[in-house]
Amino acid sequence: MAVVIDTSAIYAIYDGGDENHHDACEGFQRIPGPYFVASAILAEVDYLLCTHLASAAALDFLDALLESRYLLAETKTTGVDIRRAVAILRKYPDLGLGLADATVMATAERLSTRQIMTFDHRHFRAVTNIHNQPFILLPADRAQA
């Protein structure tokens, strides 16, 4: 089943000092994909990797995209993804969600999956999908996957 990857999981993979690094690496090894990255988070991932690690980490991530280790889920900017992301932001105005998180959720819905690899439990546990079901947060909810 498809897994949509949040920025927090991507960052944890590349930062060996991140508290979630081990869990992220193990999750990628044990949880079958395919793994999708919403195109709307590419700039955020690039910024974090370049700013907190090095441009080499950002290039490694881009190489992984080019090699199809992660699959790019083009954000449907003129339609369903942005509309759904805005609906999520409006439904949860006090949560402090941003467009990146809402787009990851919208992308998961469009790909008909509830599985999101993330360490941002505060935001992703508080939101339900369009069918009012909770997302399955990996690797934490691995037994449900």
Q: What is the CATH number of the domain that holds 126?
A: 3.40.50.1010
SS (H, E, C) the chain: CCEEECHHHHHHHHCCCCCCHHHHHHHHHHCCCCEEEEHHHHHHHHHHHHHHHCHHHHHHHHHHHHCCCCEEECCCCCCHHHHHHHHHHHHCCCCCCCHHHHHHHHHHHHCCCCEEECCCHHHHCCCECCCCCECEEECCCHHHC
pTM: 0.92
Percent of the chain residues past pLDDT 90, beyond the cut: 87
The 10s digit of each residue's pLDDT in 78-116 is: 578 889 999 999 999 999 999 999 999 999 999 999 999
The 10s digit of each residue's pLDDT in 45-71 is: 999 999 999 999 999 999 999 999 999
Total number of domains constituting the chain: 1
**Which range marks the domain in which residue 111 is found?**
3-144
Identify the pLDDT of residue 76.
Answer: 63
